[in-house]
Amino acid sequence: MIQLVRGFRDILPGEAMVWQQVEQAARDRFECFGFSEIRTPVIEQTALFKRSIGEDTDIVEKEMYTFPGSKDTLLTLRPEATASVVRAYIQHKLYAADPVRKLYSIGPMFRRERPQKGRYRQFSQINAEVFGIESPYMDAQLIYMLTRFLDALDVPGLRVHLNSLGCPECRNGYRDALRAVFSGKTDRLCSDCVRRIDRNPLRLLDCKVPGCREVAADAPSMADFLCADCDAHFKTVTAGLDAMGVAYERDPRLVRGLDYYTRTTFEIQTDALGAQSAVAGGGRYDGLVEQLGGPSVPAVGFAIGMDRLVELVMAAQPVLLRPPAVFFAAMGAEAWKRAFQWAGELSDQGIRVEIDFSERSLKALMRRADRLGAQFVLIVGERELEEKTVSLRHMATKAQTAVPVDNLVAVVKEKIWESGV
By CB under 6 A, residue 113 contacts ligand AMP: yes
Nearby residues of 24 by Cβ (< 8 Å), 6 or more positions away: none
By CB under 6 A, residue 58 contacts ligand AMP: no
Nearby residues of 391 by Cβ (< 8 Å), 6 or more positions away: 378, 379, 384, 400, 401, 402, 403
Options 96-104, 117-125, 171-179, 291-299: segment touching ligand AMP (CB under 6 A): 117-125
Is residue 376 helix, strand or coil? Answer: strand
By CB under 6 A, residue 64 contacts ligand AMP: no
- Residues 288-327, one symbol each (x = binds ligand AMP by CB under 6 A, - = not), give ---------------x-x-xx-------------------
* C-beta nearest to ligand AMP: residue: 305
Kindly tell me which of 44 and 231 has the beta carbon lying closer to ligand AMP.
44
d(CA 392, CA 124): 43
Pairing of strands 101-110, 159-164: unpaired
Query: Site for ligand AMP (CB under 6 A): which residue of 30, 89, 104, 120?
Result: 120
Helix intervals (H) in 166-206:
168-183, 191-196
- Shortest distance (Å) from residue 74 CB to ligand AMP: 21
Question: Are 92 and 80 within 8 A, CB to CB?
Answer: no
Where is 151: in which H helix or E strand?
Answer: helix 136-152
By CB under 6 A, residue 280 contacts ligand AMP: yes
Q: Say how many Å lie between the first and final Cα of the chain, rounded.
A: 42
d(CA 20, CA 43): 24
By CB under 6 A, residue 202 contacts ligand AMP: no
By CB under 6 A, residue 119 contacts ligand AMP: yes
Options 34-42, 118-126, 182-190, 411-419: segment touching ligand AMP (CB under 6 A): 118-126
Q: What is the dihedral of CA 369, 372, 376, 377, to 10 degrees?
A: -20
By CB under 6 A, residue 129 contacts ligand AMP: no
Options 181-189, 279-287, 315-323, 346-354: segment touching ligand AMP (CB under 6 A): 279-287
- Shortest distance (Å) from residue 303 CB to ligand AMP: 4
- Shortest distance (Å) from residue 257 CB to ligand AMP: 5
Query: Site for ligand AMP (CB under 6 A): which residue of 125, 164, 238, 264?
Result: 125
d(CA 8, CA 306): 14
What are the residues facing 226 on neighbouring strands? Answer: none
**Positive or negative torsion for Cα 371, 374, 380, 384:** positive
Options 172-180, 246-254, 274-282, 322-330: segment touching ligand AMP (CB under 6 A): 274-282
CB atoms closer than 10 angstroms to residue 146: 26
- Residues 71-90, one symbol each (x = binds ligand AMP by CB under 6 A, - = not), give ---------x----------
- Shortest distance (Å) from residue 115 CB to ligand AMP: 8
Where is 355: in which H helix or E strand?
Answer: strand 353-355
From the number of C-beta atoms within 10 Å of its C-beta (0-12, 13-18, 19+), residue 289 rates as buried
By CB under 6 A, residue 284 contacts ligand AMP: no
By CB under 6 A, residue 270 contacts ligand AMP: no
Is residue 103 helix, strand or coil? Answer: strand
Q: Which residue type, as a one-letter code, is found at position 252?
A: P
DSSP output for 268-320: EE-STTTT--EEEEEEE-TTHHHHTTS----EEEEEEEHHHHHHHHHHHS---
Query: Site for ligand AMP (CB under 6 A): which residue of 99, 201, 281, 301?
Result: 281
Give which of 113, 104, 41, 106 is closest to 76, Cα–Cα. Answer: 41
Kindly tell me which of 259 and 384 has the beta carbon lying closer to ligand AMP.
259
- Shortest distance (Å) from residue 297 CB to ligand AMP: 21
Kindly tell me which of 52 and 375 has the beta carbon lying closer to ligand AMP.
52
By CB under 6 A, residue 60 contacts ligand AMP: no
Kindly tell me which of 112 and 352 has the beta carbon lying closer to ligand AMP.
112
- Shortest distance (Å) from residue 126 CB to ligand AMP: 9
Kindly tell me which of 125 and 164 has the beta carbon lying closer to ligand AMP.
125
By CB under 6 A, residue 278 contacts ligand AMP: yes
Residues that bind ligand AMP (CB under 6 A): 80, 111, 113, 119-120, 123, 125, 256-257, 278-281, 303, 305, 307-308
